[in-house]
A and B are shown apart, each in its own frame.
Chain A
Amino acid sequence: MAVSRLTFERNPEISLADKIGQINWGLVFVITLIAAVGCAMLYSAAEGSIDPWASRQAVRFGAGLALMFAVALIDVRIWFRYAYGLYFGALLLLGAVEFVGTAGMGAQRWIDLKVIQLQPSEVMKVALVVALARFFHGQGDEELARPTTLVVPLALVTAPAALVLKQPDLGTAMMLLMAAGAVFFVAGARLWMFALAAVMAGAAVPIGWQFLRDYQRQRVLTFLDPESDPLGAGYHILQSKIALGSGGLSGKGFLAGTQSHLSFLPEKQTDFIFTMLAEEFGMIGGLVLLGLFFLLFVYGFAIALRSRNQFGRILAIGLTANLFLYVFINIAMVMGLIPVVGVPLPLISYGGTAMLAVMLAFGLVMSVWIHRDIRIPRRGLGDT
């Protein structure tokens, strides 16, 4: 009790006005810039019209900004206190999807997609990082040397990953695992454990292949040899590469991408939107967008290093790693570097849930920034 009282005295409450003053406007500016690029691409995808995508996306971004500010102004200690609550809430939702989804009849899938399915797994991507940050906040160097320490966080990762895998959504499950891997890494888990995990994962590949659905195997095989079936499953990757490659260094000009507009490109407003950008603005345009994203990552890492509590540090790094995974997987996919997985490009692709999840994550990073000087004791916040 005495300890926590002391800590609190060193951490006087910050007034709301101070918090607003602390908002990192540089970060807000970069986010808005990227979202503006997204709206411009959606305008182009609709043949030069703000309907049906660009206008709605702009509205969603507005809502996302409001959410981000609200989340950012909430004390980081509140997020710390309710970290597990958030996690188990998200886990419960994921489980509910599984329950509803197995009730039979085949129509649920469609309903899941509309109202539930996307949401829990998107929320879980954030909630998992929050819960892991909370856990590792309490672990010192000595604890981290013991393999038993990792039992709890491994369980925290496995439960949602297994549920998502059952849906089945291989892409999201992989993202959960990789984001968690980044958190384990920065939190200080021993390197030999990663080596062990890598060896085990390698051994699991042939076994996992047996469990893949036909369409998932098809995607992997198509990735390995897209030209084998140019009109079937390999069509998307091939067309995406043609569109992207034909853009050249400087692109064909805004609204002038032939491949995108002639409907050779599938899903041009969602997963393949980067292809359209690279076709219309060429490699220069692609570099500019990558540069903007790179700036976001730099902000994320800088905020993490400036934070004076381990929870905030891990949270900022974990969420930034998450964002990086989105960006990397999406762009690598459309360029044929990895198999096709349904991952949107954050802030750019058309879609409501992904947008809100990303803005929620930025809100948390911003909260870490605003409350960077607050210390949180190793043992937690006491009984308050």
Chain B
Amino acid sequence: MAYVHEDQTRFKTFSRRALLLAGGQTALMASLIGRMYYLQVVEGERYRTLAEDNRINIRLLAPPRGRIVDRFGTALADNQANFQVVVVPEQTSDLGRTLDDLSRIIEVSEEDRARILKEVRRRRPFVPVTVLDNLSWHDVSRLEVNAPALPGVAIEMGQTRRYPFGEPMTQILGYVAAVAEHELSGDPLLELPGFRIGKTGMERRFDDKLRGTAGTSQVEVNAVGRVIRELSRDEGKPGRELVLSVDAGLQNFVHQRLLGVRSASAVVMNVHSGEVLALSSAPSYDASAFNIGLSSRQWQELANDPLGPLNNKAIGGTYAPGSTFKMVVALAAMEAGVSPGHKVFCPGFMELGRSRFHCWKRHGHGWLGMHDGIKQSCDVYFYDIARRAGIDRISEMAVRLGLGEATGIELPGERAGVIPTRAWKQAVIGERWQGGETLVTAIGQGFVLTTPLQLAVMTARLANGGFAVRPTLVRGFRDAMAEGEEAPSSPEATAGHVAEVAASRFAPLGISEAHMKVVGDAMDAVSNHERGTAYRSRIEEEAWALAGKTGTSQVRRISLSERQSGVKKNEDLDWRYRDHGLFVAFAPVHRPRYCCAVVVEHGGSGSRSAAPIARDILIETQRRDPSASGLRPLAAAGGQVRGS
């Protein structure tokens, strides 16, 4: 019975230790009592005096949050006054009658009435009780007019954040919501009940500037807490106003256009200044729902939606660039010494070792040079020149053009994508680079991943003559204006566009002008030559014509058996296995000003899905350009009807 014996020693140990623990706890309890005695009896007198002094009550005043406006000064995020009507019971002669009078002006339901009477009974008579919330301006003015007849009735004003444009703007602006504990930073404002803080997008990125600094109001209160008078008041500093480079009208147009397909994103950017005029990811979501507070079910629905409304796909979605990568390969090859006149015969495939690499055109393109290689997007031509350039030169050119690293745009959640090199593969996958992988990279498949924004930056750098332009959404900050004051209509604010000279701010990429011209001419031909892959999506108005490049990015490799068992068309596949369609473009062809990148998720071929969207967007962009207003605006309508 060793166990029994041991159980006894164990119980002894336990009892001894339990008593020790109890002793320790008793000691700690005693220390609490000691502290209580010290605070309440020894120092009690001092604290009673301090409590008297506490009659000077300092209240924090929340500053108005800075507005966010677009390049023309249109409000994208502002503060809506939220008017509520309150009644102070002790100031009414007869509360019931006051409520009756009130209900003749605004609607006070029986339920409201019961609630008010109940609340009034519970509270001290000087505490205001809310009658109605979210009053319309109309009701407010009627109440103000009738104020003399309504003793004890007052109107109080709060503020809520408003996003007048709704969904199209959410991906850029983000939203505000209640402060979480880990966001507390010592700023007393954050501890104000009901205070809102930026959670994502611009609201979060520039929260510190938009927030402003707290004001204080010192009031004297009597022993029961009634405010006797205000002693001093410091209004604090309102948040600064953030001016974005975005054009709200264009953004709206782009978003509506993208909603025509299931899931897509697009970026419109000035090729010289890098100012982003529109950046849209569809479908999106409604930011004001977050302000009120989402139910857990609503949140789950948003988070699990396969179309990813919470993800800003223009910066957070990474896609194989497909043939839009061919400009990179062409420039790398030319730098490696391949002449633009270099001819390749395309029989429809290229063999390397025992593998066969196909061209998208089954029976081949025959003989072609670089110009036609880009124009017709011949895969075999790029297999050939990619082998001559080598993967490391291609990657180096890709990085110079802005791929493979975050662009640094002022939005949280941007992803870097991938531009593979030999060293990258060795480090990440732990294998040697294969020759065939260079071929796959040449047509923008395989390891390469880019965001739509990066593709727009690449296009801008091709269009602006080879300057390392960086994208930006921000034009600057300005101090908020007082109520009623109008925005100064400076030429800069209304013109909304920065002159071409701005490009000199950016360093040249060191790419030969002659090479750039080869690529630029070929992109011109893609959409303006009848054998180009995007000819159907050209802009007929010559002054607005675009130059572009299509791309189709494979989501799933079509297996050999599928290939042999008959043509497996992209349209026959389940939606989520279909190819992504891409298009990058700049316009006008001869004096480039804007570029646009469109990615249609699972949209099929780029020429069919993405190019028409990019065309419409670039027409709208140029139509809205104030400096182009002298041009024949009717042409826009013509261009839009065609080919859609």
Q: Which residues of A contact B (CB under 8 A)?
A: 46-49, 51, 103-107, 109-111, 113-115, 140-142, 168, 182, 185-188, 213-215, 218, 231-233, 235, 239, 241-249, 258-259, 261-264, 266, 278, 282-283, 286-287, 290, 294, 297, 301, 304-305, 310, 313-314, 317, 321, 324, 328, 331-332, 335, 337, 342, 378
Contact = CB atoms under 8 A, between A and B. Distances in A.
Nearest to B25: A324
B126 to A, nearest CB: 12
Given A182-B21, A304-B18, A335 B32 contact: yes
B35 to A, nearest CB: 5
A282 B3 CA distance: 53
A310 B14 contact: yes
B44 A248 contact: yes
Interface string B12-43: 01110110111001101101110111011101
9 contacts: A107-B177, A107-B294, A141-B9, A214-B186, A242-B54, A244-B40, A246-B48, A259-B51, A335-B36
A286 B32 CA distance: 10
Contacts, number: 184
A278 B17 CA distance: 33
Contacts of B310: 105
Given A47-B123, A111-B299, A335-B39, A301 B18 contact: yes
B114 to A, nearest CB: 13
Interface string B292-303: 011010010001
A242 B293 contact: no
B633 interface: no
Given A245-B39, A247-B40, A248-B44, 8 more contacts: A49-B123, A103-B303, A188-B10, A246-B51, A248-B40, A278-B40, A287-B33, A378-B7
A186 B21 contact: yes
A335 B303 CA distance: 43
Contact of A47 (B6, B10, B18, B122): B122
A60 B185 CA distance: 34
B47 A244 contact: yes
A188 B17 contact: yes
Nearest to B53: A242
A121 to B, nearest CB: 13
A168 B182 contact: yes
A98 B11 CA distance: 40
B106 interface: no
B96 interface: no
Nearest to B54: A264
A217 to B, nearest CB: 10
A287 B413 contact: no
Given A51-B122, A186-B17, A244-B47, A283 B37 contact: yes
B514 interface: no
B41 A283 contact: yes
B16 to A, nearest CB: 9
Nearest to A283: B40
B344 interface: no
A258 B223 contact: yes
Contacts of B48: 245-246, 248
Nearest to A293: B29
Interface of B: 3, 6-7, 9-11, 13-15, 17-18, 20-22, 25-26, 28-29, 31-33, 35-37, 39-41, 43-44, 46-48, 50-51, 54, 57-58, 122-124, 127, 177-178, 180-182, 184-186, 188, 191, 199-200, 204, 216, 221, 223-225, 290, 293-294, 296, 299, 303, 310, 413
B217 to A, nearest CB: 13
B343 to A, nearest CB: 50
Contact of B29 (A213, A215, A282, A294): A294
Contacts of A317: 18, 21
A381 to B, nearest CB: 15
Contacts of B29: 290, 294, 328
Contact of A115 (B7, B22, B26, B296): B296
Given A106-B204, A297-B22, A328 B221 contact: no
Per CB-CB distance, the 4 closest pairs between chain A and chain B, nearest first, are A245-B47, A246-B51, A49-B122, A109-B180
Nearest to A213: B182
Nearest to B316: A104
B58 to A, nearest CB: 7
A246 B47 contact: yes
Nearest to B199: A106
A83 to B, nearest CB: 18
B18 A331 contact: no
Contacts of B37: 283
Contacts of B185: 214-215, 218
Contacts of A186: 14, 17-18, 21
Given A106-B204, A141-B10, A310-B14, A218 B186 contact: yes
B57 A264 contact: yes
A335 B6 contact: no
Given A244-B39, A245-B39, A332 B32 contact: yes
A113 B294 CA distance: 12
A259 B41 CA distance: 17
A301 B22 contact: yes
Contacts of B47: 241-242, 244-246
B188 A278 contact: no
Given A185-B21, A245-B44, A104 B413 contact: yes
A266 B178 CA distance: 17
A72 B147 CA distance: 62
A251 to B, nearest CB: 9
A242 B57 CA distance: 14
A259 B47 CA distance: 11
A111 B296 contact: yes
Contacts of B216: 231
A249 to B, nearest CB: 6
Nearest to A3: B3
Given A111-B294, A186-B17, A186-B18, A141 B6 contact: yes
A190 B29 CA distance: 26
Contacts of B43: 245
